[in-house]
Amino acid sequence: MKITNQDHLKHNWQVHKLLPDFEIEDVWKFPVKLEEHHTLEEFREEFKQVMDGLTQNGFVALLFKVRFFIGGILGWDKEEERVHFKPNSIRERYAKAAGLSFEQMPAPGKEEFSPVYALEKEALMEIENATVHAAMHLAKVPDGGSSTIQMTVYVKPKGLLGAGYMAVIKPFRLFIVYPMMLKLMGKRWAKYAQNTVEFQ
C-alpha cells in the first residue's frame, strides 16, 4: 500500500544525505513479512524475478513496450556504456561520500537499474534517461514482531519534458504498475517464506 513520505524520512537511512536534490515521488509498503532469518538481499532476488515477469508478460508488459517504443523513436533511452563512475551519477556521488574506489563499488551490471549500494537494511539503485534521473530505495523496516519492506522512488525530472513525462505516467504507475507489482510480490514472497520455514 502507499504510505507517507514521513514513514520513509523517520528512518536514519544513508539515502537522505545522498539525494537532497531529488524529490520523493512515492513510498510504498510491500505486503510481505520477513522473519529474523530473512535478509534484504533475499527479498531483492525475489523482487527481481517479479519485475522480470511484469516487464515480459501481461498488460504491464505492454505498457513498458509502448514506453520503450516511444523512447526509442524520441531518443530517450540511448544505449550507453555501463561505466563504473558515470559523471554526475548517484554511484559516483555515493563513492565520493563513502570514500570508495570503483573496485569497492558493486558492478554496474546490465540491468535497467544500476546498483549504488546494498547494505544490511537498505539498498539503492539508479536509472537515468533523457527525461528523468531516478532512484529506487528498498529498506527493511520493523513491522510488529517481524519486518517488512518499504520502497521509495526518488526523481529529478529533466526540464519541462521530464516534468510532463512524469505527469503522464503517474496514473499508470499509481493505479496499474505498482498495485500489480505489490500483489505479485506479496504472493511470491509468501511462497518463498513458507519454503524457507520448511527448510529451517
Domain ranges of the chain: 5-190
Q: Is the pLDDT of residue 80 over 80?
A: no
Return d(Cα 23, Cα 9) in angstroms, integer.
12
The pLDDT, as a whole number, for residue 13 is: 96
Q: The pTM is what?
A: 0.83
CB 147 within 8 A of CB 141: yes
Q: Is the pLDDT of residue 94 over 70?
A: yes
Q: Is the pLDDT of residue 197 over 70?
A: no
Provide DSSP, 126-155: EEE-SSEEEEEEEEEEEETTEEEEEEEEEE
Among the residue ranges 41-50, 115-124, 189-198, the one predicted with the least confidence is 189-198
Q: pLDDT (tens digit, 9 = 90+) per residue, 109-146? A: 666 788 999 999 999 999 888 888 999 999 999 998 89
C-alpha cell, 178: 505498482
The pLDDT, as a whole number, for residue 176 is: 82
The pLDDT, as a whole number, for residue 56 is: 67
The pLDDT, as a whole number, for residue 75 is: 55
* First and final C-alpha spacing in the chain: 30
Q: Is the pLDDT of residue 88 over 70?
A: yes
